[in-house]
Amino acid sequence: MTWAASSALPLGPAAAVVVLVVACARGRGVDIPRVATPDTSDSVFVEVINDNYYDARLYARYAGGARYPLGTVGGNLRQARVAIPWTPRPLVVELFLVIGGGHYVSDVLSPQPGEVVQVRLPPNLDASGVFRRVH
């Protein structure tokens, strides 16, 4: 969008709408910042596969409050593994649907150090046996 504003060409209302649509269409690449976690043997690796239509913002949350952002995964997309520190406490995956609302929490997981946890978001979260709606 910056290139259109600095261009010497005058923009009419139709051109401004096209520029706005293109700028909004590129929004899928937006991701929440992640805390850098060393990729060590006492890390847990989380991989997310989103089979749902909606984009989802996910967090790994240990009992006792430690919460680690996993990122925003677009609908029908997969995310690369994210390393989080291992803690000997129960872990849940918390997710918020970006559009359409909804706050869900997974069943309790008990990963071991070095383990890869694959989280798959089903097309219908409300009928899922793994996630329950919180609000």
Q: Where are the domains of the chain?
A: 1-30, 35-133
How many other C-beta atoms lie within 10 A of the C-beta of residue 59?
Answer: 17
Cα separation of 61 and 92, whole Å?
5
Cα separation of 109 and 87, whole Å?
12
pTM: 0.70
For 74-85, the pLDDT digits (tens) are 999 999 999 999
Between 112 and 34, residue with greater pLDDT: 112
Mean local confidence (pLDDT), 123-129: 92
Residue-level pLDDT at 26: 38
- Return the CATH number of the domain spanning residue range 35-133: 2.60.40.2890
Coil, helix or strand at residue 71: strand
Given a cut of 70, whether residue 6 has pLDDT beyond it is no
For 110-122, the pLDDT digits (tens) are 999 999 999 999 9
Mean local confidence (pLDDT), 94-110: 94
- The mean of the pLDDT values for the chain is 79
